[in-house]
Chain A
Amino acid sequence: MKSCYAFLFWVLLFATGCSDDEQIKEKNPAPVVLDIPANFPEPVYDLAANPLTEEGIALGKMLFYDPALSRDNTISCGFCHQQPTAFTHHGHDVSHGIGDQLGRRNSLPVQNLLWYRNFFWDGGVHNLDLVPLNAISNPVEMDEETPNILRKLEGQQKYRDKFKAAFGSEEITSTRFLQSLTQFMATMVSANSRYDRYVRNEGMQLTSNELQGEILFRQHCASCHATDLFTDQSFRNNGFSSAEDMARDSGREEITLNPDDRGKFKVPSLRNVEYTAPYMHNGKLNTLQDVLNFYVTNVQVSPTLDPLLMQNEQPGISLTVDERSKIIDFLKTLTDEEFLSDRRFSEY
C-alpha cells in the first residue's frame, strides 16, 4: 500500500509539473507592435534591443506611478509628470521634488520620447533607458539610489510576479527595471491631435484662423519647431535668459563646456503646448500670450543669441497682435485630447 501511495505521489508531482509547464507557456510575454504615426520620422530608440510586450509595459507603468522610486517613498515619476498636463508638473515653474525642494528647470512632457536623440533641457542624457536615473539620483527630485529601489521591489510579491511575467524570471535587475520603464514611456505617443488628423487627411478641417496661424507658424517658428515633432532637437539661446540667469543655469554649456553653448537649451516640442504651462526652461511664463509677446518684445541680446532671432539687427520676431493670436489658435490644434485622457497611461 505504501508503495502505491508513493506511486500516486509521483504521479501527482508529474501532473503538477505538467500544468506548471503549460502555465509557463501561456505566460510568454505578449509582443506589442507600436504604430508609428504616418507623419512622424523613424524612431531613434532601437526597440529591437528592448522589444515591447504587454507585460513589460504594464510593469513599466506600475513603476512610473510608484513612489518607492524615491528615497522617502513620496515621489513617483507621475508626481512631476501628470497626464492632464501632457505629463508635466502643472502649477510648478521648476521641478518640485522630495522634501519640497525646488530644482532649476521646468519639468518636460513625457511624450514621443522614442523620437529623441537626447533628453532634458541640456541634452545631458543620450539614451531613453538612462532618463529615469537622472530624476532618481537628483537630490532635489527623488534622491534615491537604484540598488535601494531594487531591494524595495524585491520585497514585494507583486513585483516579483510582474518581473517574471515580463522577463521570464523573478529576478529584478537594474536593466529590466530601466527597460520596463522605457517600454511604458515608449507607448506614450501623442499623434492624434486635430492637426494630425488634418495633416494626415483624415477628414479633419481647421478653421480659417487656425490655417492662417499655421502659415504664420511655418514662416516664423518652424525653423526651430520643425517636423511634426515640432522640434528640430537643437540647442538654442532664444534670448530668454539674462546674463544673471545664465550664470545660474548656462544650459547646454554645462554638458559641452563650450562657451558658444552658453544659455542654450533644447528646443521643446509644441505638442499639447496648450496644457504644458508654465513655459520656458525655467517656467517663468504662464500663458501662450506671454510666450508670443516675449518673442516680439523681450528677446535679450547676448553673444550666443540664436541668429534666427536677430533679423535686420533687431532682436525678436515681428508679429502683430492679430498674428500672435492666430499662431496661438494654430498651436491649440496640437492638443491631443485622446493622449491626455488615454487610460493606458493613467495612474488610476
Chain B
Amino acid sequence: MKILYSYLLLFLSLAIVACDDDDDPSTGGTGQITIEFDNRAGNDDLELLKEYVNGAGESFQISKLNYYISNISLTTTDGKVFIVPQDSSYFLIMEEEGESQHVHLRNVPSGNYNQISFTIGVDSLRSTMDISKRQGVLDPAQGHDGMYWTWNSGYIFFKMEGTSPAAPSDQDNKFYYHIGGYGGYETPALNNIRTTTLDMGSAVAQVRPEKNPQVHLHVDVLEFFSSPTSISIADHPLVMFSEYSTTVSANYVSMFKYHHVHN
C-alpha cells in the first residue's frame, strides 16, 4: 500500500511539473518536433516522372531525389540552442519513401523555436568514423540507394537523376547529379558539406511535453537549377566528383526554405 501511495505521489508531482511547463516553456519538460521535407517544383508538390521546366527553359522529369540531412539544431526565440544529439542526427530523405520525409526529433526541451539549422550531407568526422559507429542510413555497406562511393570512400550527400531532351542522346537523355565530398581524409579534397539556417520569421514551433509541432519545409527543385547560379542540363548533364559539383551544392542549399508550422 505504501508503495502504491509513493507511485501516486510521483505521478502527481510529475503531472504538476508538466502543468507548470505550459506556463513557462523555458523550464523543464521535453517534447517532440517533426520537420517535414516537402519536395516541390515551384508551387506544385513534386511528382516523379512528371514534366517540369527549369529556369534555362529546359523541360525535365525527375526519377530520383535523395539527400542526407544531419546535425540538426533548433534555436528558441530567446536564443537558446538545442543541438540534436549527434548519434541520432542523421536522416536520409528520399522522394520515393514518404515516411523518410518526416524527421521526428524527440526529447526536445520545451520552448518556442523559430530557427532550424542543419547540414545537407554528412560531416567529415562521421564520414571517417569506424563502421561500427555508422549504422542505419549511414551504413556504407548497405548502399542506401547508392548513396555511398566505395571507390572514394564517402557519402553521396545529394542525388538527383532524371531525363530531359536537353541531356545528350548518348546518355539516353538522362541527367545525373551525384554530389558528395567531405573534404578528404589526409589530403584536402572536394568539400561539399553545406549548412543552412532557416528562419521562421514571426512564427514559432511550440515544443511542449504534450505537443508535437510540425515544421513544414519546402525543397524546390526549380531552385536547384536557378539559384544562385543558373544550371543548364544541356551544359552539365552529369555532375559527380568534379569541381563543378561545388556550384551544384551551392545551388541545392537554396532549395531549402521554411514554409509554415502546425502547432
Residues of A at the B interface (CB closer than 8 Å) are 46, 49-50, 117-118, 120, 124-127, 129-130, 133-134, 136-138, 145-147, 174-175, 177-179, 254-258
Q: List 20 other contacts, CB 8 Å, given A133-B140, A256-B189.
A: A124-B151, A126-B153, A126-B186, A127-B128, A129-B130, A130-B131, A130-B150, A136-B150, A137-B143, A137-B150, A174-B139, A174-B141, A175-B132, A178-B131, A178-B141, A179-B131, A254-B152, A255-B189, A258-B187, A258-B189
17 A–B contact pairs at CB < 8 A? A125-B152, A125-B153, A127-B130, A133-B140, A133-B150, A134-B150, A134-B151, A137-B143, A137-B150, A137-B151, A146-B141, A147-B142, A174-B142, A254-B241, A255-B187, A255-B189, A257-B190
8 Å CB contact of B131 from A120, A127, A258: A127
Query: Would you call the interface of chain A mostly helix, strand, loop, or mixed?
Result: helix
Query: Would you call the interface of chain B mostly helix, strand, loop, or mixed?
Result: loop
Residue of A nearest to B139 (CB): A174
B188 near A: Cβ within 8 Å? yes
Residues of B within 8 A of A257 (CB): 189-190, 241-243
Residues 122-163 of chain B, each 1 if its beta carbon lies under 8 Å from chain A, else 0: 000000101110010001111100001011110000000000
Given contacts A256-B189, A257-B241, contact A175 B139 (CB under 8 A): yes
Residue of B nearest to A46 (CB): B130
Q: Tell me whether A256 and B153 are in contact (CB under 8 A).
A: no
Residue of B nearest to A261 (CB): B187
Residue of B nearest to A147 (CB): B142
CA–CA, A49 and B131, complex, Å? 9
Residues 150-189 of chain B, each 1 if its beta carbon lies under 8 Å from chain A, else 0: 1111000000000000000000000000000000111111
Residues of A within 8 A of B143 (CB): 137, 145-147
Residues of A within 8 A of B186 (CB): 117-118, 126
Residues of A within 8 A of B187 (CB): 255-256, 258
CA–CA, A177 and B130, complex, Å? 14
Residues of A within 8 A of B130 (CB): 46, 49-50, 127, 129
Residues of B within 8 A of A138 (CB): 150-151
Q: How far is the CB of A306 from chain B (nearest CB, A)?
A: 16
Q: How far is the CB of A25 from chain B (nearest CB, A)?
A: 25
CA–CA, A8 and B207, complex, Å? 59
Q: Tell me whether A126 and B128 are in contact (CB under 8 A).
A: yes
Residues of B at the A interface (CB closer than 8 Å) are 128, 130-132, 135, 139-143, 148, 150-153, 184-190, 241-243
CA–CA, A255 and B151, complex, Å? 9
Residues of A within 8 A of B189 (CB): 255-258
Residues of B within 8 A of A256 (CB): 184, 187-189
Residues of B within 8 A of A117 (CB): 186
Q: Tell me whether B150 and A49 are in contact (CB under 8 A).
A: no
Residues of A within 8 A of B141 (CB): 133, 146-147, 174-175, 177-178
CA–CA, A257 and B128, complex, Å? 19
Residues of B within 8 A of A146 (CB): 141-143
Residues of B within 8 A of A46 (CB): 130
CA–CA, A117 and B139, complex, Å? 21
Q: How far is the CB of B135 from chain A (nearest CB, A)?
A: 7
Residues of A within 8 A of B140 (CB): 130, 133
CA–CA, A178 and B139, complex, Å? 11
Residue of A nearest to B148 (CB): A133
Q: Tell me whether A175 and B131 are in contact (CB under 8 A).
A: yes
CA–CA, A46 and B132, complex, Å? 12
Residues of A within 8 A of B190 (CB): 257
Residues of B within 8 A of A177 (CB): 141
Q: How far is the CB of A246 from chain B (nearest CB, A)?
A: 17
Residues of A within 8 A of B241 (CB): 254, 257
CA–CA, A300 and B14, complex, Å? 78
Q: Tell me whether A126 and B185 are in contact (CB under 8 A).
A: yes
Residue of B nearest to A255 (CB): B152
Q: How far is the CB of B137 from chain A (nearest CB, A)?
A: 13
Residues of B within 8 A of A129 (CB): 130-131
Sort A-B residue pairs by CB-CB distance and give the 6 closest, nearest first: A174-B141, A146-B141, A126-B185, A133-B150, A124-B152, A137-B150
Residue of B nearest to A177 (CB): B141
Q: Tell me whether B153 and A124 are in contact (CB under 8 A).
A: yes
Q: How far is the CB of B99 from chain A (nearest CB, A)?
A: 19
CA–CA, A174 and B134, complex, Å? 11
Residue of B nearest to A125 (CB): B153
Give the interface centre of B135, B140, B188 by most chain A CB atoms within 10 Å.
B140
CA–CA, A138 and B153, complex, Å? 13
Residues of B within 8 A of A50 (CB): 130, 132
Residues of A within 8 A of B184 (CB): 255-256
CA–CA, A243 and B151, complex, Å? 23
Residues of B within 8 A of A125 (CB): 150-153
CA–CA, A179 and B190, complex, Å? 28
8 Å CB contact of A130 from B135, B153, B188, B243: B153
CA–CA, A124 and B135, complex, Å? 21
Q: How far is the CB of A34 from chain B (nearest CB, A)?
A: 18
CA–CA, A276 and B185, complex, Å? 29
